Structure 1
Amino acid sequence: MTKDRAAFPYMKLALGGAVAGALLIGFVLPAEYGVDPTGLGRVTGLTALAQEAPASGATAALAFNVEDYDPQAERIERSIQGLIHLEDAPFKSEVIELQIEDFGEIEHKFILPADTSFVYAWEVVDPKGDGVYFEFHGHPSSADAASYPEGFEMAYSKGEGVAQNGSFTAPFPGYHGWYFMNLEEGPITLRLTIAGYWSEHKEMYRAVNGEVLNSVEF
């Protein structure tokens, strides 16, 4: 019995080695390298994994383009998932100061085609209280409204604060921008710095203490 106990660790080691070897031959080699000495990889479909694996090394072809990659091409027309969206004109850049009266509300929108973008930063100049209540949202133009559910709008962010920074890509063509309500005591200036590809922008709505001073049809 003593000899059997002394031999037991070696038996475990041998058994473990045999199992590891079987896993290597039956599973790892077919899946990783396409080597299938037992035929098990073909039966289980593991050899297909090796065939689908991308090539490695400096000679591997980059596969990020929808169309065949031509290193001599002056322009790549399309790329996967819209990672780049080419524009016909340079981006615009503006600093817009919005004056909002005491108890005032304002809505300012940018007109963008679908899939075009801007980056922005807005801030209340010299805030002394809660700043503004804001809603960043978009809706189609009246010409396109029939293609959407009645009263369709899409919300992007809302809250209260004195500043926000971000980037935005229009999910559909139309009007995209902000509604601001003054939460300070007295009039405020809100400074919006923006750069991107809008066609135009305009004040859509303005009210003071609930009385509408300006409302633009879209």
Structure 2
Amino acid sequence: MSIALDNTPAGPTYEVSPRTLGLACASAFAVATVVLTLFVLPAERGIDITGLGAKLGLTQMRSGEADATPDTTPVATTAPSPTSSSSQAAITVEPQSQQSISKATPMRSDEMTVVLKPHSGLEVKAEMKTGDHLIFHWDANGPLKMDMHGEKPNDGERFTRYWMQSDLTTAQGSFTAPFDGHHGWFWRNRGESDVTLKIRTSGFYEKLYIPK
């Protein structure tokens, strides 16, 4: 017995031309671009070029995700360390409240000009209560040694030093009294010529004076 094989195709065959294939690819790319622009970018990235995403509520989906993310940014409670070459501890700022902000001492401003003879010293003090605050600025036309310190009443020769530096012609800052007493500066002219010193203060303190 012999079996004859029929190799005739079961159905018609089609040949796709390169032009047709190119048009199909271009159409698919165009559709994908439209979908990406109108729907995917507004929902996933919040990029809404046409404005349709906002109308369809797609951009709200993105913002909702952002709102749900907890804010873990640390809150700074300490001022940056000084940038000078000397090793200084970081400045700690205490929490502020009505008790630390409100002042009972009347606000005032003072200005004083004095002349320091060669190799002489001069002291200027402010009478302050605990928590009183003053801002100061001084200028001199020659270098001076400055010693900023405070003294408690009836405490003998004891004092608390805050800042000492040589060869200064100007300085400024703000100061809060850590205790009741007299707080201020001692300047010494170590040169051979007169030095004129001008100091300006403003804040909450009883008076600015030159001790006798």
Match of 1:193 among 178, 191, 200: 200
Instruction: Tell which structure's C-alpha radius of gyration is larger.
Output: 2
Residue in structure 2 matched with residue 176 of structure 1 by the alignment: 183
Match of 1:132 among 123, 138, 144: 144
**Structure 1 length normalisation: TM-score?**
0.49
Distance change >3 Å, CA 152–CA 85, structure 1 → 2: farther
Residue in structure 1 matched with residue 79 of structure 2 by the alignment: none
Identity of aligned residues (%): 21
Q: Report if aligned partners of 1:110, 1:175 keep a CA contact under 8 Å in 2.
A: yes
Q: What CA distance in whole angstroms lies between the structure 2 residues aligned with 1:152 and 1:83?
A: 27
Runs of 4+ in 1 over 6 A off after TM superposition: none
**Structure 2 length normalisation: TM-score?**
0.51
Q: Report if aligned partners of 2:105, 2:206 keep a CA contact under 8 Å in 1.
A: no
In the TM superposition, what are the counterparts of 1:8-47 in structure 2 within 5 Å?
A: none
1:162 counterpart SS class: strand
**Aligned-residue offset at 1:153:** 1.2
Q: What CA distance in whole angstroms lies between the structure 1 residues aligned with 2:125 and 2:199?
A: 12
Distance change >3 Å, CA 82–CA 158, structure 1 → 2: farther
Q: What CA distance in whole angstroms lies between the structure 1 residues aligned with 2:98 and 2:203?
A: 20
> What is the number of equivalent residue pairs in this alignment?
118
Q: What CA distance in whole angstroms lies between the structure 1 residues aligned with 2:172 and 2:99?
A: 23
- The gaps in structure 1 that reach 5 residues or longer are 1-55, 57-78, 205-215
Residue in structure 1 matched with residue 103 of structure 2 by the alignment: 86
Q: What CA distance in whole angstroms lies between the structure 2 residues aligned with 1:84 and 1:190?
A: 31
Which deviates the most, 165-174 or 182-191?
182-191
Q: What CA distance in whole angstroms lies between the structure 1 residues aligned with 2:115 and 2:157?
A: 28
Q: Report if aligned partners of 2:146, 2:185 keep a CA contact under 8 Å in 1.
A: yes
